A = this chain, B = another copy of it.
Amino acid sequence: MAKKSKAAQTPPAAGPVRPVTIAFDVMGSDHGPEEIIRGAAQLTLDTPHIHALFVGDRGLIDHALSSIRHNAERVVVHHAAQFVAMHEKPAAALDDKRDASVLVAAQLVAAGEAEALVSAGNTGAGVLACARTFKLIPGVKRAALATVYPTQSTRGEKDDPFSLILDVGATVDATADDLVAFAVMGAAYSRIISRNPNPSVALLSNGTEAQKGPPRVVEANARLQHVKGLRFIGNVEGVDIPKGTADVIVCDGFVGNVCLKMLEGVHETVMALAKYAYKEKLLWRAGLAMLSGGFERIKEVTDWEQYGGAPILGFDRIFIKAHGRSKARAITNAGKVAAKAVANDLARSIQEGLKAS
């Protein structure tokens, strides 16, 4: 953590960096608009090139900005009178609320007022706002929600102990076509964001053999073996997810969502198993007690929101979905990831990868 903050304060590499405007949907997150604004405001101070376009209730935003340090030259506010709450059904909410902040923000991005969208609100509403506003990249039929998660192995320029898994919930019934596109999208994202020049990509299945799995997975495996420029390492199994056998793991949104939520629960499970396993031994209990405060740290390590949020991949515009519980620091990270994706033209990189598939 400390390292990351320091890195943010380091001057950028030599040469001018072109300005990037990120639209922040400030409404509908668990901790309220102020955390979003604080995180984005920090970006306008830390970086010389990121501009923030705040979308939401102007009164709330102006009030927050009056007490939060920011670079006023790189902040613009756009009023949106409505927002989608966490509990709302995405489709119905967006139908009803044409002035919902996430929809207005997506429209501003589509219109070129900003180049990427960051939201910590209702995930489904965010994905749907993009689907209704952005265009799919040619060759992509359905979008994917990707997320990084902690692994045993490390990778890339920074020895990241994180892999990328997609889809984790945007497309619950992915076809073989979708899985192939997800593989290409995930590899492009890993190259750009994790600075991993040649990421290994695997399909999640119930066996490592190419013919294992339901028909969509078997077909995707056969096709991925022939995608140029993609380091496809075949099928991996559930045990390979935490191991980090692959840099990018590809699956449909149903399986991916179940796995991600299992990973999120690993902290509680481990504590419970540890208590069950150790209850009889005093030495073990002492060891557990010594670790008890530190177990929170595992939770932090497994908390994917700390690592820049989850990108929605497949659209011509960038959307980074930060966790609903995001505090300011998570929003700052999400904004940085969005800016990096824009600066490296992620969408074009995906499009080129798909041409080879």
Interface, chain A (partner B; CB < 8 A): 150-152, 161, 169, 172-173, 204-207, 213-215, 217, 237-243, 251, 253-255, 257-266, 268-270, 272-274, 276-278, 281, 283-284, 286-291, 294, 297-298, 300-302
Contacts and interface: CB of A to CB of B under 8 A. Distances in A.
Contacts of A298: 270, 273-274, 277
A92 B72 CA distance: 71
A253 B206 contact: yes
A308 to B, nearest CB: 18
Contact of A262 (B152, B262, B288, B291): B262
A300 to B, nearest CB: 8
Given A206-B254, A266-B266, A301 B283 contact: no
Given A237-B261, A242-B272, A262-B263, 20 more contacts: A150-B276, A152-B272, A169-B206, A173-B215, A206-B253, A207-B257, A217-B254, A238-B257, A238-B258, A242-B269, A243-B265, A259-B262, A266-B270, A270-B270, A273-B298, A273-B301, A278-B297, A281-B294, A287-B287, A287-B289
B272 A258 contact: no
Contacts of A301: 273, 276-277
A270 B172 CA distance: 28
A286 B278 contact: no
A237 B259 CA distance: 9
A260 B241 CA distance: 12
A261 B273 contact: no
Given A254-B206, A301-B276, A238 B265 contact: yes
A294 B265 contact: no
Nearest to A278: B294
Contacts of A269: 152, 242-243, 266
15 contacts: A152-B272, A205-B254, A205-B258, A237-B257, A237-B261, A238-B264, A239-B265, A241-B258, A266-B270, A266-B273, A277-B300, A284-B290, A284-B297, A287-B289, A288-B291
Contacts of A284: 290-291, 294, 297
Nearest to A277: B297
A150 B240 CA distance: 20
Contacts of A258: 204-206, 237-238, 241, 251, 255, 258-259
A162 B181 CA distance: 39
A262 B277 contact: no
B254 A214 contact: yes
Nearest to A204: B258
